[in-house]
Amino acid sequence: MRLLARGLSSWKGKRIIGKQMDFSHDALRGLSDFMTNETSLQMGARDLHVDIFEKEKKIRVVVELPGVNEENITLDLNEYTLSISANGTNSSYYKCVELPRSCESVVGRICNNGILEVTLI
């Protein structure tokens, strides 16, 4: 975790934790929308912890992928969604992350000690 903190220390953009919901309205419908639109988890794959940071024109997605090498990670960007799939030594992972705005391309990616950082524009 120390490497993650050191790597993001210069990244002082806005941190996006999750989708804001107004619970005074239909809370169950809002929760359902949150669970189906924000992320999807493939059956048999482990859930991933994801942080999203936004700075100027860039978005950085940081994902914990324990036991995964960079060559075993596949990214698929489709405007507002980043799909991440990876195979580790004992686990497989899959996550669709809804982005706060449309992105055109992946401009950087690095995986170090099971932490994947993806930079999008």
Report the topology of domain 2-120. Answer: Immunoglobulin-like (2.60.40)
Q: pTM for the whole thing?
A: 0.65
Q: Domain residues of the chain, as ranges?
A: 2-120
pLDDT tens series, the chain, 121 aa: 334 444 444 555 666 654 444 444 444 444 444 444 444 445 455 678 999 999 999 999 999 999 899 999 999 999 999 999 999 888 889 999 999 999 999 999 999 999 999 999 9
> If DSSP codes are grouped into helix, strand and coil, which group holds residue 75?
strand
Stretch (H or E) spanning 81: strand 81-87
